[in-house]
């Protein structure tokens, strides 16, 4: 029977989220170690009041940025902080969440802002009700990043930098963040049901791109699907087009290449495959121009351009003084360096 009850509870957390919330007149807050480290609304345990979360996708959208930012600032998985916010705020329906964007029941002030709420405190051997200040955040995102700061305490050190959400959830439970014996299971259920591992991957990508640099293809490059010449071609990059080389992600002598939203692998050599700076200068045609295949007028026409069209100049040829130009589809053409034909844009 106990296993059935646990399964039903996990199901309610993920598929049709239900959360305990207090009526307006039951606004007293109290610590609840089963739920977490903050203060939460006191409810009548003999008469549980359950209310379906009004819009879980909207709530997740509200906390996503703060969750993802927490990885960069505090090295806490976004999926973990997101799932914790779901549990502790009841999908954003808690009083502190609606009044102050305070998802974790944190006392004190935030940049001088707070709300005052009655709390039950154990003083001199008895429970008394006193008014206390609770942090008021500009948005839920600040509450999320502030929570990441809270988790920097030494007791949670195993959590910091952990990239496996199951391990991270168990680290939290082991460290005593919440006393509920099924706390880690509940976090994992929410993460998996709501696809929050996608937040983790987004945070990892953002972090790795801090080491990415723009490079320019020297020739047509067949970007690979894996870090090996034997892997299939994922996509091609046209000569002189820009791509990002992710220096934070290298394997087997290859580097991750990011191009127009696509990702693949290639060798990072700047002498063989890439320019480290844009090798071209943007020009515009001043008349209708027939670009030639060589540095002379009697050579074939490489491509024609109308007045006012943009072209990319690679260099000025040392002997003839003509310009070597990158045209549409990376076709190379030549034209005299004269304002009668082209000028810098």
pTM comes to 0.60
Which is nearest to 148 in space by CA: 86, 72, 202? 72
Q: Is the pLDDT of residue 46 over 50?
A: no
pLDDT tens per residue across span 82-128: 999 998 888 888 888 888 999 988 888 899 998 888 887 777 888 78
At residue 41, the pLDDT reads 74
Which is nearest to 21 in space by CA: 39, 48, 46? 48
Residue, of 28 and 239, whose pLDDT is higher = 239
Q: Is the pLDDT of residue 342 over 60?
A: yes
At residue 20, the pLDDT reads 35
Average pLDDT over the chain, rounded to an integer: 85
pLDDT tens per residue across span 239-249: 998 999 998 88
Q: Is the pLDDT of residue 6 over 80?
A: no
Kindly state the DSSP code that residue 232 receives in the 8-state scheme: P
Residue, of 28 and 214, whose pLDDT is higher = 214
Domains of the chain: 2-195 (1.10.530.10), 208-275 (2.30.30.40), 281-344 (2.30.30.40)
Please list, in sequence order, all residues whose beta carbon lies within 8 angstroms of the beta carbon of residue 216, skipping any fewer than 6 positions away. Answer: 240, 241, 242, 243, 274, 275, 277, 278, 279, 280
pLDDT above 70 covers a percentage of the chain that reads 87
> What distance in Å separates the CA atoms of residue 214 and residue 224, rounded to the nearest whole number?
18
Quick one: tokens of 84? 């914790």
Secondary element (H or E) of residue 131: strand 126-135
Quick one: tokens of 198? 């996608």
- The alpha-carbon radius of gyration of the chain (Å, integer) is 30
At residue 43, the pLDDT reads 57
pLDDT tens per residue across span 202-232: 998 888 778 889 999 999 999 999 999 999 9
Poorest-pLDDT segment among 26-30, 67-71, 88-92, 134-138: 26-30
Q: Is the pLDDT of residue 172 over 50?
A: yes
């Amino acid at each position: 029977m106990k296993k059935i009850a646990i399964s039903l509870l996990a199901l309610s957390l993920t598929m049709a989220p239900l959360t305990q919330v207090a009526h307006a007149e039951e606004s007293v807050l109290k610590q609840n170690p089963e739920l977490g480290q903050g203060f939460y609304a006191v409810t009548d345990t003999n008469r549980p009041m359950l209310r379906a979360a009004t819009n879980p996708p909207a709530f997740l959208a509200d906390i996503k940025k703060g969750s993802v930012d927490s990885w960069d600032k505090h090295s806490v998985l976004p999926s973990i902080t997101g799932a914790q916010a779901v549990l502790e705020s009841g999908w954003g329906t808690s009083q502190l969440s609606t009044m102050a964007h305070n998802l974790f029941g944190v006392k004190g002030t935030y940049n001088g802002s707070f709300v005052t709420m009655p709390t039950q405190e154990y003083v001199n051997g008895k429970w008394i009700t006193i008014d206390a200040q609770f942090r008021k955040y500009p948005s839920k995102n600040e509450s999320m990043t502030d929570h990441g700061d809270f988790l920097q305490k030494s007791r949670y050190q195993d959590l910091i930098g952990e990239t496996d959400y199951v391990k991270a959830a168990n680290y939290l439970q082991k460290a005593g963040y919440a006393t509920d014996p099924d706390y880690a299971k509940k976090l994992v259920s929410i993460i998996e049901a709501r696809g929050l591992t996608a937040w983790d991957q987004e945070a990892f990508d953002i972090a790795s791109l801090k080491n990415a640099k723009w490079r320019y293809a020297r020739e047509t490059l067949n970007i690979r699907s894996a870090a090996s010449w034997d892997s299939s071609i994922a996509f091609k990059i046209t000569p002189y087009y820009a791509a990002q080389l992710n220096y934070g992600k290298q394997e087997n002598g290859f580097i991750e290449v990011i191009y127009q939203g696509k990702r693949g692998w290639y060798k990072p050599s700047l002498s063989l495959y890439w320019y480290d700076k844009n090798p071209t200068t943007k020009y515009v045609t001043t008349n209708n121009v027939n670009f030639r295949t060589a540095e002379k007028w009697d050579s074939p026409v490489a491509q024609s351009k109308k007045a006012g069209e943009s072209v990319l100049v690679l260099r000025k040829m040392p002997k003839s003084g003509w310009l070597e130009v990158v045209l549409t589809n990376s076709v190379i053409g030549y034209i005299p360096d004269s304002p009668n034909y082209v000028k810098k844009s």
